[in-house]
Amino acid sequence: MCELTPEHVLGELAAIAFAEPGAGNGAVKVADKLRALEMLYRHLQGDGEGGEGVVIIDEA
């Protein structure tokens, strides 16, 4: 398991957002792509600063 950093999360979101729907082993759904794009947009707009932002919950 890799270390959970903001850069890693952004990389994973970008990979989901720009993946081909249904391609690869873990077929990406269109809804997943849209949600990842929304989260990237919010990050780029600065919604995470002092607001809700993206919350990562560690369920381990």
- Provide the total of helices (H) and of strands (E) in the chain, helices listed first: 2, 0
pLDDT of residue 35: 92
Distance in angstroms (rounded) separating the CA atoms of residues 42 and 13: 12
pLDDT of residue 36: 92
Mean pLDDT across 2-17: 87
Question: Which range has highest mean pLDDT (3-7, 23-27, 49-53)?
Answer: 3-7
> In the 8-state DSSP scheme, what is residue 26?
S
Q: Which amino acid is at 19?
A: A
Examine the pLDDT at 39 and tell me if it is beyond 80.
yes
> In the 8-state DSSP scheme, what is residue 27?
P
pLDDT confidence of 24, banded at 50, 70, 90? Answer: low
